[in-house]
Structure 1
Amino acid sequence: MDHDKPKHIALRRDYLRLAALFLGTQVVPSIARARQDPYPSKPIRLVIPYPPGGGTDITGRAMAQQLSENLGQSVVIDNKPGATGMIGAASVAKSVPDGYTILFGAASEMAINASLFKNMPYDPRTDFEPVSLIATFPLVFVAPASRSQSLRDLVEVARAKPDTIGYGSIGSGSLQHLAAELLSTMAKVKLLHIPYKGSGPLVQDAVGGHLDMAVSSVPPAVPLVRSGKLRALAVTSATRSEALPDVPTIVELGFPGYEFNTWVGVAAPKGTPQDVIARLRAALSTALAANEVQAALRDQGAVPVGSTPERFRQFVLEEVAKSDRIVMEAGIKPE
């Protein structure tokens, strides 16, 4: 019995080696096949960090439909709202960097939040692989239709009497708030900020004449301007908006260099292979040219852009630096 024991152990060891070799021949080709599969080989999840129905969501869904056709795979929308976009953005930043979870992000979570919050769950400057800037969206300064003062008139009153001209935004640290504070800094005046809980009450008070002016996104303002309930004072983009072609830019009113837009772009988790980024970027470029996407962007008052990943990375860095300056100079604190 004692002589047979070493032989038994040797046989068992040989058996385990054979089993490992057999399993290896099954697993290694599977891994190799997985690596050789052209991207994409399964559905892609497009995370939109806002609720359904908003401007970012509408644009993202139009892009997703075209992306699906261009890539030959389903592109599934995953709305993850909350914390001014940070919940959805963080979920993408922490995802596997394989190109199957990507972010349809906007200015707040991709730039401005970095200037407002010290302890974010991700860093928009380093935790993503930029794919492409998609479009920019101007904001618009509006006033009650009953007021005859221009934006320059209101600035002159604020210069003579600081904090007497009140403007409304959808909250402290919002895009609208930063847009007005940039104007305030450039004009060297003090405007009185009146934050609201959402665009509904803000627009209602603007129409009712309870504000000197308000800063709004373009889509909800257009019908009110056209119906005569609000008067558009200026748009925040460098050029006039197609949705409001008769409304001057702030630059035209005598403030050279002023530009403040919201925007949307696509990014992937840090470490996503560059060939995957290139494939996504090419598909996005084709999608952006589609009539359905162009129509969706026009309805939002947007300007289609498209960019290389490198240009989008530089754009994000520039936007963070701009919001840093505005937040610091105005002493803005998040709500």
Structure 2
Amino acid sequence: MSTSPFGPAADKFRDERTRVELDRLLQEAVETSKRLVELYKKEAGKYKRLAEMERERRREVEARLRACSKLLDEGPDLEAKLNSLIPDAVRAVASLPPPPETSQLQIQLEATERDRDAFAELLDTATQERDAALRARDAAIARLQPRQDGERHLGEAEALKARLDAPTLRGVLEQAHHHCSSLVITADLDETKKLEHHQKAPHWRIRLAATLATMQAYAEAKDLARARGGRAGPELANLKAYCASQPFPLLAEGKVIVSEGQTASSSPRGKAQRTLRVPEDIDPSGKAVMVEHIRIGDGAPPAPRLHYLDDTDRRGLLVIGFFGDHLYNAGTN
């Protein structure tokens, strides 16, 4: 029987709407229940982890407690052991020597430093003698080869001079680069171009070859003296002294000039012209002032000169920094 004033159709519509509303409420209840279940699971997992952590901390505390109990049980024995060791430690400390005074330490330090410096000096001397011996050996090998090839026996410097012979001044210097192991040539070889066509060029080539051969012989003689464990005598003090000591020198003593006049050596222009290239292991700047020189030509212009640095006392080398026209001095100002 219809309860709605609008008839059975209205009752049916109301019942359908009620059922839909009940389904919606039921679905919401199901979703809410699922969320609550997930939440309870998470909370249960958290409490489970906390319980496990608590059990782990408890196990650690119990382990420490057992260790402390063990130490407490061993306390009397440890105390007895320490008491037995103390007298031995006291006697050991009493038997130690007294600490040295500061003054004694200073004296010992100074003696050690002197020994160190002495050993360093001996090492440096031994190194120089070894290097000199090696250079002397290389020079001897270089001398032996031409003789094995049939070269007639000449004096050492004369034989070397013959090997330096070349048709040009530049060629003589290039030959020296190959045959003179103790000479380092940093000079600009293009400077020879201005001299090559001079009427005296053949004479200068001969004198240049004799000069280079003498310089090599001088360096070798000093190397040989050191290789034998001695020191170079006064005849090897410098190139000029070496030439003066030779009975028949290829290079006359008077051709070797070991110093310059005041204007040439100290004036800005003269000093600049004589500041020439050297290997960096001789001077870190790569340059050095070369006042020592050799008169290749006579006094008349262009009066060619060869400027060099004598480093035979340290490196066993002679550095040729310039060969060309006479450099600036008071007479050429």
TM-score (norm 1): 0.28
Greater Rg by CA = 2
Query: TM-score, normalised on structure 2?
Result: 0.28
Q: Which structure shows the higher strand fraction?
A: 1
